[in-house]
Structure 1
Amino acid sequence: MGLFENLVGAFLKLTDPTPDYTGPRCLLERNSVGGCDKCQQACPHQAIRLENFTVEIDEVRCTSCGLCTSACPGLALEFPLGSIQEKLHRGKGQLRCSRAPGAGDEVHCLGQLTPGLLAEAGARFGPLTLAHGDCAGCKIGGPSVPERVQQIAEEGRRYFPGLEVRLQQEPLAGAEVGRREFFGALFGGAKRSAAELMPNLPLLPEEPYEDKRAERPAELRLRRVAAIQAQSVRWPRIAVGEGCTLCPVCSNVCPTKAVERERSPSGEEYILKLDVSACTGCGACVESCPPQVITLTEADRVEVLGGPIELYRGVPPWYDL
């Protein structure tokens, strides 16, 4: 592919309104018991189809509202969060949607916000102010956006309990921005745009399908940053009770590789471990566990910021097979 084709492809990528889809983190593709249709239910424009155990997004119907991304339990649907985080920082915790009047930075729709974005900004700036337009008549996100943002904020309080979010329809005054901050933001935006437009050189083979689960989503990184600043957290985690057969189902269905199964050095036991900071609380392992011995609970700050914890160990009943 030549330079021109790469530039055209990069431009289309920048203007493509659909969220990025990472199939290995989708509960449908992971064959979780009960499946999942939360993204389809959240979409106000019927732009999402669930076919052949995968998610297909209609680029014509999609308005880039982002409501599907915050509804996805496995974080398989994402918008790039760096630019939104930068806008929250530049506005010192103030942000408005593209249909809201007033000054300050804007995002296409407040539905693109995530618990991690709000928690990290709240930990840094204190109370956040989010302005929205007439959602009832908006063709981007629709009337459900304010309620959904409140739900996102409530989820964000799991990672930073002090999070305060004010939703308003009044014009946003906007935070004052100095010359240095303005030119710094302008230069930073230019660098990012140039990086996006540079052609990708095919020097390395494409990453294996399963390895993509090991990539820590930006949302999880933001949640962890917020947890570092918090006094306490209510991070979701799982617990494994007696009766576990140490089969690989929980590790297979986990969308973020939070659960891993490994063999002990002696070779006689198997060990289930959990990276708490990678757990989304999706419940896929709970629903899929054959003996139904996995439950959802909450982790404290020490467990989130520490290394993997041991969930269960033992000699599986099928060891001699």
Structure 2
Amino acid sequence: MQTTPEFRRERCTRYRFKYSECSRCQDACPHAAISLSDEGASLDPARCRECGLCVAACQTEALVTDKLPHIQLLKQAGAKADGFSIACTPSQAEADAKIPCLGALDATVLAYLSARKVKLELRGAWHCETCPHGTSGQAMIAYARDGVAHVREQADNGERWSDIVFAEPPEDAAKPAAVNHARRQMFRQVFGRAVEAALKDTPTAPVPLKAVRIAAPTSTIRRELLQIVWSRTAVGEFALDDTLPTSRFEVNDTCNQCELCVRVCPTGALGLAETDQAWRLTFQFNRCVGCDVCIEACQPHALERQTSVPLATGLEKEPVTLRNRPKQRCSRCDRFFMPASPAETLCQICADDDKDFGAMFG
């Protein structure tokens, strides 16, 4: 019986932030089975072929399918000392495990197995040319391989990792098709950071509160796997890349303390630590999945993506402070507020009251 992937809307950036332009799942789907709205994603069972590419594309794991049991695959692979093979179901190749499409194996899963020195062989890539999933599947395979190569390049012990081998096609199989570089580049543009540059040039109106739906923060399996892989690298600085589910931010002086980025973050990577003396915006690197919704939501464009992260920072489990603003009591109403300068003694409400009174009565 055919079943579509399960959609967990509380994890979806489009559900959490009404104006999110994220379309990763839709762009990865080769069957036009996904439609998007500010409620999230809807999957058409009549079109869905259960390839799992939408699941692999989603950074927040809003889509999940039991046909891609990552944890079970990792356990099976770890128990096979003589090597482990994975095949795509459409190719009908024999293997230790089968999945709907090899493109559904993302970079973190492959990097984790490589770092654990699992002798991994992938079978069925020769079938992409005739496979209905092949238009996206082949590009997704290449995208994941780019991610693994990037991690290994950053690790000074990368030569001790195992290689990921693609099995040769049977004699009666068609010759493997060349990677569609145009589509591969499209994935890099869609899955990469183009949204950040576009937003900086687009004037935006203040975001209404109803545009944000609050939900409990979640963690993802892939981000946890990446953290394990991260611990196996031994470099002082790690270059970040769009093939990996993570980002690192700094905050510039345009931040107006609206806290919108914290409210839309689906993993709790951005947080607040507030006392009577100070207001602090914090960031926990090991929870960030690089979904970009915080950048989309930030109206003054105060969040700036960093290109690298020190290894020591990457392994820290405690949040770091991105912005720290002192607080003081209003001399009139005695409420705590964040002054723009030490000379300010009135909170914004009292200052506005003075302006309104002056406008009405002179």
TM-score class normalised by the smaller sequence = 0.7 to 0.9
Post-superposition shift, 1:83? 2.2
Q: Pick from 243, 253, 259: which aligns with 1:248?
A: 259
Q: 1:246 to 1:83 in 2, by over 3 A?
A: same
Aligned to 1:95: 86
Give, in whole Å, the separation in 1 of the partners of 2:60 and 2:143.
17
Give, in whole Å, the separation in 2 of the partners of 1:309 and 1:40.
34
TM-score normalised according to structure 1 size: 0.73
Tell me the SS of whatever aligns to 2:31: coil
Higher RCO (C-alpha 8 Å, min separation 6): 1
Aligned to 2:279: 270
Q: 1:227 to 1:263 in 2, by over 3 A?
A: same
Post-superposition shift, 1:138? 1.5
Q: How does 1:1-321 map to 2 (within 5 A)?
A: 17-31=3-17, 33-79=19-65, 80-90=69-79, 92-98=83-89, 99-125=91-117, 128-132=120-124, 133-139=126-132, 141-157=133-149, 161=154, 162=158, 164-170=163-169, 210-212=214-216, 214-232=217-235, 233=238, 234=240, 235-264=246-275, 267-297=276-306, 298-306=308-316, 307-315=318-326, 316=338, 320-321=348-349
Is the 8 Å Cα contact of residues 228 and 305 (structure 1) preserved in structure 2? yes
Q: 1:243 to 1:93 in 2, by over 3 A?
A: farther
Aligned to 1:190: none
Spell out, residue by residue over 1:2-58, the C-alpha distance to the aligned partner (whole angstroms, 9 max, x if none).
Answer: xxxxxxxxxxxxx66432322122121121644212211211111111134321112
Give, in whole Å, the separation in 2 of the partners of 1:90 and 1:223.
20
The letter for the 2-side match of 1:37 is S
Give, in whole Å, the separation in 1 of the partners of 2:37 and 2:272.
30
Q: 1:20 to 1:220 in 2, by over 3 A?
A: farther
RMSD: 2.7
TM-score normalised according to structure 2 size: 0.65
Give, in whole Å, the separation in 2 of the partners of 1:17 and 1:114.
22
Q: 1:157 to 1:272 in 2, by over 3 A?
A: farther
Structure 1 stretch displaced more, 40-49 or 127-136: 127-136
Is the 8 Å Cα contact of residues 68 and 77 (structure 1) preserved in structure 2? yes
The letter for the 2-side match of 1:224 is Q
Structure (1 or 2) with the larger CA radius of gyration: 2
Post-superposition shift, 1:157? 4.7
* Structure 1 unmatched runs, 5+: 1-14, 172-208
* Structure 2 unmatched runs, 5+: 171-212, 241-245, 327-337, 341-346, 350-362
Is the 8 Å Cα contact of residues 107 and 144 (structure 2) preserved in structure 1? yes
The letter for the 1-side match of 2:309 is A
Give, in whole Å, the separation in 1 of the partners of 2:168 and 2:21.
37
Is the 8 Å Cα contact of residues 215 and 266 (structure 2) preserved in structure 1? no
Aligned to 1:198: none
Q: 1:19 to 1:302 in 2, by over 3 A?
A: farther
Is the 8 Å Cα contact of residues 130 and 168 (structure 1) preserved in structure 2? yes
Give, in whole Å, the separation in 2 of the partners of 1:261 and 1:28.
23
Spell out, residue by residue over 1:212-231, the C-alpha distance to the aligned partner (whole angstroms, 9 max, x if none).
Answer: 4x231111111112112222
Percent identity for Structure 1 against Structure 2: 26
Tell me the SS of whatever aligns to 2:35: strand
Q: 1:151 to 1:254 in 2, by over 3 A?
A: same
